[in-house]
Chains A and B, each alone.
Chain A
Amino acid sequence: MSHADTIAVRVVAVEQVTPQIKHFKLAAVDGSRLPAFSGGSHIIVVMRDVDRVHRNPYSLLGIPGELETYEIAVRRMEQSRGGSQFMHDTVQVGSTLEIAHPVNLFGLSKIGRKHILIAGGVGITPILAQMEDLHQDSVPYEIHYSVRSPEHAAFLARLGNRAAERLNVYYDSSGDAIDFDGLLSTQPLGTHFYVCGPAGMIQLVLAKAREWGWPESHIHWEQFSAPPAGEAFDVHLAKASLDVHVVPDQSLLECIEAAGVEVPYLCRGGVCGFCRTDVLELDGELIHNDHYLSDEEKASGRVIMPCVSRARCRKLVLDL
C-alpha cells in the first residue's frame, strides 16, 4: 500500500472519554463520503511528526454505513513510540491526517448462530462497530466488557443505548472478572466469540476455549502489537541494493520505508501477514513478534514480518 492510496482527513471532533482514551472523528478533507466498512475493520492512521512518520492501526468504532465521518479511539500508551502521544498531544480539531482504506481482519461470521463479544479496555472499539452490525440482524449476541474501574469504561452510554440487555460490564476495581469457564462451557452449537484486549486476556480466553473444545473456526481475536524496541541492526535489501540501519526505537518496516522502499502492508501490527518477507541470508537470529507465522516458519529463519519483528545479527539480507 503506497501513500497514493491514502485519504486526506480532517479532525472534526475530539473528546477525552476516559483519563487515557481520546475519541476522534475524522472527515474527508474534500468533503466526500468515506469508503464503506464492516464491523471489526481498522484503518492505518499516518501521522507526520516533526522528525518521523507514525503509521498506527486503529479500529473503526462508528456505525458501519454512516460514512460522513470515521470514529477512532486512541489510548495513550505508557511506553509510546510516539504515535499515541502524537494523537493525544498534537492532534486537535482542524488537524489533517492521512488514513489508509479500511481493512477487516476481525469480521463477524456471516453464518454464526450466536456471537459473544469480549473486550478488555480500549479493545471495546472494534466491538462497538460489530455491535452495530449485529443490531441490524436477528442473530443473538452478548457483550462482555472488562475495564479497570468505572472512570476507565469508555463508551458505556453508547453500549447501553444499543444493547443494554446484552451488556455485561466487569470492573477490576470491584473485584469483578469474566467467568470464562461459565461463558465458554455451555454455548449452543454455531456460537462464535470475538475477543479484543490486552495480550494476557486474549491468551487466557484462547486457553479456556481450547480447554472446552472450541474449534479454531469459531474463535476470533485481534490484538495489534506495537513494534517492540530492540537493539540496532543492519539489513541489506537485495532487489533495491540498499543497506538500511534499523535504529532501536523504530521498526524494521519503518526503517525500510524511510529508506524509500515500499513494502505492502495492511495492519502494521503482526496480524495480517501482508508484509511477510523472505529472508535470503542470515547470520544471527530473528526476533519474531508477530501473531501470523507458524512456529515452524518462525524457527526456519527463512521468513520475517518486518512490521513488528527484528533481528540480532551480524548479517541479514531480505528479498526486497
Chain B
Amino acid sequence: MLVTGIKSKPVYTPLAPDLTGRYHLMLGHGVGREPLLRVLRDLRVAAPESGARTRVLFVGSPDEQAAGGEQFRAAGAAEVRLFGRPDELLTDFQDVLTHSFMGTRLYVAGPESFMGLAMRIARQFNLNKDEVRAEECGSAARRVYCIHCQTATENVTTNIVQCKDCNRWLLVRDHYSSRLAAYMGVMVDAEAPGERPDVKEVFP
C-alpha cells in the first residue's frame, strides 16, 4: 500500500565539514551531539583558523546540555548556545540567520521531525543544498500532515495514525512537503469505512 521511491522524501547523509564555507553554524538535538562534535574536530584538523567562525545551537536534556556545552567548546566552537526546548532553539536560529552572512554553512543533526523544522527555516532564508548538510540521528518519528483537515500530528511512529484533530485514520506516506515540514497523511479507509490495515511501528 505504501508507495516507495517517492522523490520528495528527504535524504540525509553523514555530516562532514564543508571547507568551502567561511562561517559554520551547527544545530543539534539530543544524540545529534555526536555528529556535530565529529564535524568540529574534523574542521579543527582541516582548517584550524575556522574555529573562530563556528557557532553551535544545541537542544537537549539538562544533562545533555551540561555535557554538550563543555564538549563543543573543547572541540573548538567559538560560541555555544544551549536550549531546553526545540522551539526555543528554532526561534533563536531564525534570529541568527537574519544576522548571518553569505558564506555560512549549516550543519543539522537530530531526529527526523527536528530536521524538518530546521530545514524549513533554512529554506525560508534561501539556503540551498550546497549550503546545508544534515544527518538524521535519534527517532525517525514523523510529523504527519492531515491533507483533509490540514493540521500536523507530531511524533508519529506507525504506518497508520489517527489524526489528532479530525480523528480520521491516516496512511503515512513518504510524500514529504519541505514547505510544511511534514509527511502527507491520507485517509486510509475512505472507500471502505472501518477497513484498515494493522497498525505497526515503522518509524522507531
Chain A residues packing against B (C-beta within 8 Å): 109, 111-113, 184-191, 210, 212-218
CA distance A243 to B101 in the complex (A): 55
* B129 contacts the other chain (CB 8 A): yes
CB neighbours (8 Å) of B12 from chain A are none
CA distance A141 to B190 in the complex (A): 50
Selected from B126, B129, B130, B131, the residue in CB contact (under 8 A) with A113 is B126
Are B102's CB and A184's CB within 8 A? yes
Are A212's CB and B126's CB within 8 A? no
Closest 3 CB pairs of A and B: A213-B103, A213-B22, A190-B126
Are A189's CB and B22's CB within 8 A? no
Instruction: Answer whether A189 and B129 are a contact pair too, CB < 8 Å, given A213-B20, A213-B21, A215-B20.
Output: no
Are A213's CB and B23's CB within 8 A? yes
CA distance A111 to B128 in the complex (A): 10
Closest to A111 in B: B126
* B105 contacts the other chain (CB 8 A): yes
CB neighbours (8 Å) of A185 from chain B are 101, 103
Closest to A190 in B: B126
CB neighbours (8 Å) of B20 from chain A are 210, 213, 215
Q: What are some 15 contacts across the A-B interface (CB < 8 A)?
A: A113-B126, A185-B103, A188-B98, A189-B102, A189-B104, A189-B125, A190-B125, A190-B127, A212-B102, A213-B20, A213-B23, A213-B103, A215-B131, A217-B129, A217-B130
Are B100's CB and A189's CB within 8 A? yes
Closest to A189 in B: B125
* B75 contacts the other chain (CB 8 A): no
* B31 contacts the other chain (CB 8 A): no
CB neighbours (8 Å) of A190 from chain B are 125-127
CB neighbours (8 Å) of B105 from chain A are 213
Are B130's CB and A216's CB within 8 A? yes
Are B102's CB and A188's CB within 8 A? yes
* B80 contacts the other chain (CB 8 A): no
Are B103's CB and A212's CB within 8 A? yes
Among B97, B102, B103, B125, max chain A CB count under 10 A is at B102
CB neighbours (8 Å) of B100 from chain A are 188-189
Instruction: Write the nearest CB–CB distance from A176 to chain B, whole angstroms.
Output: 24
Instruction: Write the nearest CB–CB distance from A144 to chain B, whole angstroms.
Output: 16
